């Protein structure tokens, strides 16, 4: 292909490289790889492919230490999403990613395209997307800016998911001042497929035709990976010039793209397929070619454009939404075009796979780009950034020794009034959580539970299912990144186990400040260490995910915030366990571990004492693992009437949440020898409140003993809507409901 010509060097190439985000050393390396000065198009592709967002240049040395294999893992990191075997020839694929910076610049479109992007990652694997989860973190809800961001983000998520027909089944809505300048908009998607129909993003053979499927290419999103996702905001917040870098989504076009791709998969018409997300055509072509050790020749004049005046580098780096790049054998091309036409989707041949390793793009009859695909996709810089141990300035305070508040009842009301505790109904009622009719348990539960579509007659009678939970706690990780990360993994896995599912895999979205700050890299290093240890101990290998750096404005970085999604599997979804008490007379047990000092980083400490201090509680991962095994076994025996973990807000919040759905109450005997404040508010791990019918209690206790799991009778469910803590205080659950329902609207100023 050398006869096609050599690209013209870019005018003032070193300065242009700097403006595009390449360092002086990176630019020198590009010149060395090419053996000449780069063209404008080549500078564009190297800048986006070597950006932090695409190349993981600051994080990959740590990510390689995470456990990524397991007996159910069919596809791990390196593809668009992980794939997990759920049995009987069926598989699910899931992944979590971030769209943080775009959602601060343009909340509605940022959230919309974040959801659209993660859905296409799932679609690219060959699966039908069936559900979304939305772990969200915002700043102080009293700020007008926060309220604007919340409104746009929630509307954007609802708009895309609802129009597309994919259920939003759970997530988190957390408020903390550390996110004032950098909200976190993470999105998880899960899809289902036959395990023998996995699609991979790889070029298989020379001569295959590259077909661009979906929307026309425009200027929206140009530089999104390098301009938005790989740089921090300045002291003055959002630069208005960055608004054009936010992509624009169209869920109705996305729906047609889903259906057309699923038909292409069903007819086995594709050799490979890749979503055009970050870095657009530059990313999809380089990654597919690099994996096969091949090259691609693409004529950019054939790319359908919304704006005909676009330059070559703009076409290559545009992140316009609802686009895929498919590789097609020439003998199947006509059928591919016909299928896309049936669904009203544009499908345009723009190039072909070639021998060699070159990624060659032509424009107006001239070669504008000729570089090794592997150099772009796999040989970006690897940085060993300076690292400092992170020590929170208040981590050494002995918060567990603080004096109890004068009025425990008022402390309970204060905690319940937190927007992080209160009902998120205002958010999730804007989402369709039941479309596709697979939702067995949706928003408001410990974990979402989904019924999988039947593969055969046996599945129709005994449907399989999955459980999904996301968790993240920035305060814990700010106080101790390693221990905080262990707690986050354990809580997500525990929430899945509470439903009776077996946790089998995890995905992660790691949100941090600037990697150019040594203390941030110290937080990141320790967080990944904690994640790896917990995932290994609890049997939930990481199947993929995302790193989001530069979440800071000026010197103000967010809390280190790893958000973990855990997937669990049911052999029969009908055995799933809810988190609400079911009937008066049922017996309550606290299982897993006794209540231990656990006020460090707690919601109680923050809301009642206005402090983020102390150490987060320590976890015994073996104790946690045994608890999960107990919950699966008790659910399989159909002894559990409910199971709800003790987490944010402590025991009092867990009990209130379990009482309210059916208007019940509970009579509780506090643990002997435990300080009342700790009993009510401690967030120490590995604790679950379960309810059982009285006749099942004795055999349940024997099961706990057999599995080496600590258990203690806690009390019983009662008819009256009151939570009675013997010899301590009563909580009026009618008032508690009113406080919880009002908490989030009041915080956002919507109660007027």
Q: Active-site residues: which are they? A: 53, 99
What is the spatial distance between Cα 662 and Cα 379, in angstroms, rounded to a whole number? 57
CA atoms of 106 and 186, how far apart (whole Å): 15
Residue linked to tokens 């790319």 = 303
Residue 372's nearest CA partner among 274, 280, 296 is: 296
194, β-bridge pairs: 90
The whole-angstrom separation of Cα 685 and Cα 571 is: 27
Sign of CA dihedral 277, 283, 285, 287: negative
Under 8 Å between Cβ of 68 and 76: yes
Pairing state between β 587-592 and 710-718: antiparallel
Which residues make beta-bridge pairs with 507?
565
Distances (CA, A) of 726 to 210, 406, 666: 71, 18, 11
Q: Which residue has the tokens 């970085």?
A: 557
Instruction: Identify whether the C-beta of residue 534 lies closer than 8 Å to the C-beta of residue 471.
Output: no
Query: Residue 616: which residues within 8 A CB-CB, separation 6 or more?
Result: 473, 475, 476, 479, 480, 483, 484, 487, 598, 600, 601, 683
d(CA 126, CA 274): 11
Find the helix packing angle between 280-292 and 40-49, rounded to 10°: 80
∠ at Cα 425 (419, 427), nearest 5°? Answer: 80
Pairing of β 167-175 and β 128-138 = parallel
Joined together, the tokens standing for residue 386 give 């300076």
The two structure tokens encoding residue 475: 């305060």
First to last CA, the chain: 69
Could you give the C-alpha distances from 671 to 513, 630, 687, in angstroms and in order? 41, 21, 13
- Reported as type and span, the H/E element at residue 677 is helix 676-681
Compute how many other C-beta atoms are within 10 angstroms of the C-beta atom of residue 111.
29
* Residues facing 90 on adjacent strands: 87, 194
H helical segments located in 372-499 = 373-377, 408-416, 425-428, 457-461, 474-479, 481-498
Angle, helix 107-124 to helix 251-266, in steps of 10 degrees: 0
> 258: how many CB neighbours lie within 10 A of its CB?
22
């Amino acid at each position: 292909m050398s006869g096609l010509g050599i690209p013209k060097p870019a005018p003032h190439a070193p300065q242009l490289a700097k403006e595009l985000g390449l360092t002086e050393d990176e630019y020198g390396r590009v010149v060395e790889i090419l053996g000449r000065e780069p063209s404008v198009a080549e500078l564009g592709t190297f800048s986006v492919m070597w950006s932090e967002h695409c190349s993981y240049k600051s994080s990959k040395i740590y990510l390689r230490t995470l456990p990524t294999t397991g007996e159910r893992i069919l596809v791990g990191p390196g593809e668009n999403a992980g794939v997990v075997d759920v049995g009987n020839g069926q598989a699910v694929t899931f992944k979590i990613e971030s769209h943080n910076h775009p959602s601060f610049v343009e909340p509605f479109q940022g959230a919309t395209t974040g959801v659209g992007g993660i859905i296409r990652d799932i679609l690219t694997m060959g699966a039908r997307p069936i559900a979304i989860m939305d772990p969200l973190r915002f700043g102080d809800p009293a700020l007008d800016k926060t309220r604007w961001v919340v409104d746009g983000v929630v509307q954007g998520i609802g708009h895309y998911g609802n129009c597309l027909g994919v259920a939003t089944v759970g997530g988190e809505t957390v408020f903390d001042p550390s996110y004032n300048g950098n909200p976190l908009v993470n999105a998880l998607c899960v899809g289902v497929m036959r395990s023998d129909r996995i699609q991979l993003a790889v070029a298989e053979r020379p001569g295959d035709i590259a077909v661009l499927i979906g929307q026309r290419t425009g200027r929206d999103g140009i530089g999104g990976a390098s301009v938005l996702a790989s740089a921090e905001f300045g002291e003055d917040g959002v630069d208005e010039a960055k608004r054009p870098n936010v992509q624009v989504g169209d869920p109705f076009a996305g729906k047609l793209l889903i259906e057309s791709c699923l038909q292409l998969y069903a007819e086995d018409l594709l050799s490979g397929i890749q979503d055009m997300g970050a870095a657009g055509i530059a990313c999809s072509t380089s990654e597919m070619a690099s994996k096969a050790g091949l090259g691609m020749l693409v004529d950019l004049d054939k790319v359908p454009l919304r704006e005909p005046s676009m330059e070559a580098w703009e076409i290559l780096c545009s992140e316009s939404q609802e686009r895929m790049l498919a590789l097609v054998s020439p003998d199947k091309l006509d059928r591919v075009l016909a299928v896309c036409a049936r669904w009203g989707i544009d499908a345009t041949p723009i190039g072909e796979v070639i021998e060699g390793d070159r990624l060659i793009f032509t424009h107006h009859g001239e070669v504008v780009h000729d570089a090794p695909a592997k150099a772009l996709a796999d040989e970006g810089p690897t940085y060993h950034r300076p690292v400092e141990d992170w020590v929170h300035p208040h981590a050494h305070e002995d918060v567990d020794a603080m004096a109890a508040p004068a009025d425990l009842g008022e402390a309970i009301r204060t905690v319940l009034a937190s927007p992080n505790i209160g009902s998120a109904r205002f958010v999730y009622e804007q989402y369709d959580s039941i479309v596709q009719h697979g939702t067995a348990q949706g928003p408001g539960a410990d974990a979402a539970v989904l019924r999988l579509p039947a593969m055969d007659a046996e599945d129709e009678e005994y449907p399989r299912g999955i459980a999904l939970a996301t968790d993240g706690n920035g305060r814990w990780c700010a106080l101790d990144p390693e221990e905080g990360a262990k707690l986050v993994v354990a809580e997500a896995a525990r929430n899945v186990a509470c439903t009776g599912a077996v946790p089998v895999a995890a995905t992660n979205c790691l949100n941090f400040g600037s990697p150019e700050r040594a203390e941030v890299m110290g937080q990141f290093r320790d967080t990944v260490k904690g994640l790896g240890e917990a995932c290994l101990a609890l049997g939930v290998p990481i199947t993929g995910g995302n790193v989001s750096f530069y979440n800071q404005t000026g010197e103000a970085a967010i809390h280190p915030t790893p958000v973990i999604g855990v997937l669990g599997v049911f052999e029969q979804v009908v055995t799933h366990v809810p988190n609400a008490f079911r009937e008066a007379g049922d017996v309550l047990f606290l299982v897993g571990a006794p209540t231990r000092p656990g006020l460090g980083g707690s919601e109680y400490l923050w809301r009642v004492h206005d402090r983020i201090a102390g150490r987060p509680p320590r976890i015994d991962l073996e104790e946690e693992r045994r608890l999960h095994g107990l919950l699966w076994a008790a659910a399989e025996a159909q002894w559990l009437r409910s199971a709800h973990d003790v987490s944010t807000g402590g025991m009092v919040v867990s009990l209130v949440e379990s009482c309210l759905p059916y208007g019940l109450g509970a009579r509780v005997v506090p643990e002997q020898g435990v300080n009342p404040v700790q009993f009510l508010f401690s967030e120490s791990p590995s604790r679950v409140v379960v309810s059982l019918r009285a006749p099942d209690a004795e055999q349940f206790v024997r099961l706990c003993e057999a599995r080496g799991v600590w258990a203690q009778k806690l009390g019983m469910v009662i008819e009256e809507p009151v939570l009675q803590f013997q010899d301590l205080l009563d909580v009026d659950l009618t008032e508690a409901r009113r406080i919880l329902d009002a908490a989030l609207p009041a915080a956002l100023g919507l109660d007027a």
